[in-house]
Structure 1
Amino acid sequence: MTLPVALSGKDVIGQAKTGTGKTLGFGLPLLERVIVPADVEAGRAKPEQLTEAPQALIVVPTRELCQQVTNDLLTAGKARNVRVLAIYGGRAYEPQVEALKKGIDIVVGTPGRLLDLAGQRKLDLKHVKCLVLDEADEMLDLGFLPDVEKIINMLPAKRQTMLFSATMPGAVIGLARRYMSQPTHIRATAPDDEGQTVANTKQFVYRAHNMDKPEMVSRILQAEGRGLAMIFCRTKRTAADIAEQLEKRGFASGAVHGDLGQGAREQALRAFRNGKVDVLVCTDVAARGIDVGGVTHVINYQSPEDEKTYLHRIGRTGRAGAKGIAITLVDWDDIPRWQLINKALDLGFNDPVETYSSSPHLYEELNIPAGTKGVLPRAERTRAGLGAEEIEDLGETGGRGRGGRGGRPQERERGRDRERDRDRDRSRSRSASGPDSAPAEQERPARTPRRRRRTRAGSPLDTAAQASAATATAPVVEE
């Protein structure tokens, strides 16, 4: 539905459920519309139309989505040799600047790094013919809006603008029209797919106690037929804690959240895609647009903030026609919030059933074998784990470095190596300076300790007088 309108150069607002192929909905028109040397050779374009500056710009909210969109476009644009570059924070500037100097056709980026490079005159946006805001409702949210407006002001006034997202509130559409010219709003739904959630995703909602949740999750992860699983938490601390607990229980788990360095985030996602890790614990940073094949279970460890977040989270499973299972664990305190989400999406789970890790209905509904405990049996621990995936040195910027669970062992190892090198250098310098150097070091005079002068009201205190006064006033004890 999108392709004919987008290829004609008109502005588009595209809305469709998660996992229905929105990336290629805007990606294919962009790949067709950029002018590459092959077009000049075929006579479709004039040589003066070729440029080394970007001809299309895609703005995305998260680094992980930026990388994924770039990879999809590189795959789709192979035949035409379209040059696509990902620009996002947490990586060194130099490789991105070098790539821009060589020439790029399409730039995919996050707002912060795009503004940085544009402000340094390293990124030229004057030749951009098409702007895409992916996950547009998030991009036009109050947090991102000032940055997005600054980027839009740097672009030519005459351009095509396209907005894509699974959720598009009316207020966002109203805001978007300020930047668009007579946009066509395309809303794609299957005739037999009622409601806002994907029909292929089976949903379960349980009222669970916070202290029992790790045990529940451990048993759910041993359900029959489970493939890859994603667990969503509201806070970074909870995500790190749950990933660590699951690792102790024998599961191959990784974490993706904002407190990890970019190298560790990419390591965890790579390990998850490659199957070395089969449980990814993450915050909402991975709730949008992330597409990994074989995700059968999504577990909301903590209730999402709103119905939009819920739709995006459970949209990581049941993608491209596959079946999926979404499980939400609602704490007692979160019941009012959950009831608002339930009402907005008309889910039919207004009062979730009180459930514990030993509840029989949990085992029946989720196909968990009887007698399953909260620790994965050693015979089933077949995954290589996070440590088997190399952590890439990205020349990271910022103070957070490569920390987190993914990077600590490597960092400690590097620290030990540095210490060993220093010790080796010291011993070499001693041997080079000859045998006389050691005695010379021993003959150094002992340093006299610094004496402190005591004063009271600016005048020096006579310690001897003070000592005698103390002796005079001391009580006499008779035997």
Structure 2
Amino acid sequence: METVFPLTTFSDLGLSQKVLSAVTDAGYTNPTPIQAGAIPPALKHRDILGIAQTGTGKTASFVLPMLTLLEKGRARARMPRTLILEPTRELAAQVAENFEKYGKNHKLNIALLIGGVSFDEQDRKLERGADVLICTPGRLLDHCERGKLLMTGVEILVIDEADRMLDMGFIPDIERIAKLIPFTRQTLFFSATMPPEIQKLADRFLQNPERIEVAPPSSTAKTVTQRIVATHDKDYEKRAVLRDLIRAQTDLKNAIIFCNRKLDVADLFRSLSRHGFSVGALHGDMDQSSRTKMLAGFKDNQITLLVASDVAARGLDIPDVSHVFNFDVPIHAEDYVHRIGRTGRAGRSGAAFTLVNRRDTKYLDAIEKLIGQKIEWLNGDLTELPPPAESYESARPKRERGGRRERDRDRGRRSDGARPDAEKAESPKADSHRHDMKSLDNPVLDETNAKADTVKAERKAQPRGQNTARSANRPAPAPAPANDDHRDRRNRYRRDQDDGPTPVGFGDDIPAFMLIAGKA
């Protein structure tokens, strides 16, 4: 059930003066509902279970009280005082930025442990002592296995985007990490959605938590206008619909375009680039420096469109994204909530468009069931789609059409459905020896063929078992088996042309062109 909090200011929440000064400098005066509900019990060392829409300020809900609690005491080498687990590198880096912004009046050591960065640089930060350790689960366990971390000094554990942790398979890693941390720790647990699996996980990690729920689970922001766009199944048709949809948006400032697969991200990025759009790409296979550079370019408005996988769907705080386009309908309904949560943040208005074909209807039904509302169609539903363009296939290059088998099948049929091979088989002339050298108007080949006919007649008249002069220096070849008629017919022509000295290395099968006499 949604918790209602009275309108208050940050100064009423019990934060330290250093934190309040940094918040004021950042331009904030009133906390969001999740911040107003989570900060006071967190300052009292209570466990927190926070459920709120994405884009409502969950990060500050744990950053601000942690800064206040960390003002007392210092960290020792390789023994961090607090631990924050994030599902992706981008989210971890974003949390680190929040600590730098709100903790500018504190002298805290912040260590960021993510993949794609040198272990040596991270080890140096750990040796100085980390008050705040922000990391992805995999890299944290790597450091622990290398003996570079001792987790017995952790006072506060934060598990952010818990439902995403479940989707990405991090739950076993989190369970391992939890065993390394003292049982007396304080745990802050945040998520935008709360499926039953996450609820069970929260019950295992939290001790008598304060439940802060400021919006119905899996709800979407009312400031986001949602529409569904009908499209055909083919990818090139979806890309054409997307381009027309982008051009039709008069108020588009920038946009994130989500795809389900990394391969689709690369294909769509190349397509939009060819059509003159300012576009970048972001997916999990990119190295960390490229991902950071691409995300910075999008935040600085150097790139208008960002084609991304779900690595950009969770928690990334890009405040002024005007549009979100779902090129693919997300397979998991919860991902839809996170994707469209990239727009309409902090009370701003936004628009989200989802391309849907006939194969996506079951995923669309799951999304509408999850969010508890029907999403309107933009220009008619799937039943009102015009027929697909028939001329496109003929205009496409052969290499872009179907596979090799399909091309061979198309070449093997005429427009009336009959196969050209059947016509050839019915013609006695076509059924004759297609490689008959006598049919060629070439005197050299005619002379060679005459010699071949003479040799063939002599071989037929020769008694069986008698060797010719040509084969006197080598044993006679073994006779072909009775069931090897196909091989005998295949090689008969080449053997019949063999009326001269045997070239070294060719054996019995001598190409006919080797027997053509050269010009004097």
The answer to whether TM tops 0.5 is: yes
Q: Does 1:93 align with 2:119?
A: yes
* Aligned counterparts of 2:356 and 2:366: Cα–Cα separation in 1: 13
Preserved contact between residue 231 and residue 238 of structure 2 (Cα < 8 Å): yes
* Amino acid of the structure 1 residue aligned with 2:310: D
C-alpha displacement at 1:170, in angstroms? 3.0
Q: Match of 1:182?
A: 208
Aligned partner of 2:285 among 232, 245, 259: 259
Q: Does the CA-based 8 Å contact 1:239-1:281 persist in structure 2?
A: yes
Change (3 A) 1:54 1:467: farther
Select 2:298's aligned residue among 272, 292, 295. 272
Distance 2:326 2:75 in 1: 48
Q: 1:228 aligns with which of 243, 251, 254?
A: 254
Q: CA–CA distance in 2 between the matches of 1:148 and 1:173?
A: 15
Partner in structure 2 of residue 336 of structure 1? 362
Q: Give the partner amino acid of 1:12.
A: I
Find the partner of 2:107 among 81, 85, 97.
81
SS in 2 for 1:100: helix
Percentage identity across paired residues of the two chains: 37
CA contact (8 A) 2:226 2:376 kept: no
Corresponding residue for residue 473 of structure 2: 468
Structure 2 Cα separation of the partners of residues 180 and 318 of structure 1: 32
CA deviations 1:355-403 (Å, max 9, x no partner) are: 79x999xxxxxxxxxxxxxxxxxxxxxxxxxxxxxxxxxxxxxxxxxxx
Residue 144 (1) aligns with residue 170 (2) = yes
Kindly indicate whether residue 223 of structure 2 is the aligned counterpart of residue 197 of structure 1: no
* Alpha-carbon distance in structure 1 between the residues aligned to 2:192 and 2:142: 29
Q: Is the 8 A contact 2:192 2:218 kept in 1?
A: no
More displaced stretch, 114-123 vs 141-150: 141-150
- Please report how far the alpha carbon of residue 141 of structure 1 lies from its aligned counterpart in structure 2 after TM superposition: 4.7
2:242 pairs with 1:217: yes
Once the two structures are superposed, residues 183-215 of structure 1 have per-residue CA deviations (whole angstroms, 9 ceiling, x without a partner) of 1111013xxx99811000000012212332212
Letter matched to residue 313 of structure 1: R
Tell me which residue corresponds to 2:408.
none
Q: Is the 8 A contact 1:69 1:108 kept in 2?
A: yes
Q: How does 1:14-413 map to 2 (within 5 A)?
A: 14-35=50-71, 39=72, 51-52=76-77, 53-141=79-167, 143-189=169-215, 196-209=219-232, 210=234, 211-222=236-247, 223-349=249-375, 354=380
Check whether the contact 1:14–1:187 (CA below 8 A) recurs between aligned residues. yes
Deviation at 1:350, TM superposition (A): 8.1
> Matches of 2:110 and 2:472 in 1, distance apart?
82
Q: Which amino acid is the alignment partner of residue 219 of structure 1? A: D
SS of residue matched to 1:126? helix
Deviation at 1:31, TM superposition (A): 1.0
**1:109, distance to aligned residue in structure 2 (A):** 0.5
- Give the distance between the partners of 1:337 and 1:263, measured in 2 at CA: 34
Contact 1:232 1:283 in 2 (8 A): yes
- What amino acid sits opposite 1:121 in the alignment? G
How many angstroms apart in 1 are the aligned matches of 2:351 and 2:52?
20
Aligned AA for 1:131?
L
How far residue 307 of structure 1 moved from its aligned partner, in angstroms, is 2.0
CA deviation vs aligned residue, 1:281-309 (integer Å, no higher than 9, x gap):
01111110011122000000000112210
**Distance in 2 between the 1:194 and 1:265 partners?**
30
The alignment partner of 2:474 has SS state of helix
Deviation at 1:247, TM superposition (A): 1.0
Q: Secondary structure at the match of 1:234?
A: coil
Structure 2 CA distance for aligned equivalents of residues 263 and 140 of structure 1: 26
Q: Which runs of 4+ in 1 moved over 4 A?
A: 350-356, 470-478
The question of 1:13 aligning with 2:49 is answered yes
- Distance of 2:144 and 2:94 partners within structure 1: 22
Question: 2:200 is paired with a residue of what secondary structure?
Answer: helix
Unpaired runs of 5+ in structure 2? 1-36, 387-469, 479-494, 501-520
What are the Cα deviations for residues 385-426 of structure 1, in whole angstroms up to 9, with x where unaligned?
xxxxxxxxxxxxxxxxxxxxxxxxxxxxxxxxxxxxxxxxxx
1:74 and 1:82 in contact (8 A); partners too: no
Amino acid at match of 2:267: D
SS in 2 for 1:71: helix
Unpaired segments of 5 or more residues in structure 1? 40-44, 361-464
User: Take 1:467 and 1:305, find their aligned partners in 2: how far apart are those partners?
Assistant: 76
Q: CA contact under 8 A between 1:205 and 1:329: conserved in structure 2? A: yes
Matches of 1:274 and 1:263 in 2, distance apart? 16
Secondary structure, aligned partner of 1:469: coil
Instruction: Tell me by how many angstroms 1:251 deviates.
Output: 1.2
CA RMSD of aligned residues (A): 2.7
Q: Distance in 2 between matches of 1:348 and 1:321?
A: 22
Question: Residue 468 of structure 1 aligns to a residue in which SS?
Answer: coil
Question: What is the SS of the residue equivalent to 1:320?
Answer: helix
Deviation at 1:343, TM superposition (A): 2.1
Letter in 1 for 2:246: L
Q: CA deviation at 1:352?
A: 7.7
Deviations 1:310-342 (A, max 9, x none): 000000000011110000001211112211221
Structure with the larger RCO, 1 or 2 (CA within 8 Å, 6+ apart): 1
Q: How many residues align?
A: 359
Q: Which structure has the greater CA radius of gyration?
A: 2
Give the TM-score taking structure 1 as reference length: 0.70
2:241 partner amino acid = M
Letter in 1 for 2:224: T
Asked if the contact 1:66/1:86 (under 8 Å) is kept, the reply is: yes
| Correspondence for 1:364 | none
How many Å apart are 1:97 and its aligned residue? 0.7
CA contact (8 A) 2:257 2:326 kept: yes
Counterpart code for 2:473:
S
Whole-angstrom CA distance in 2 between matches of 1:114 and 1:282: 26
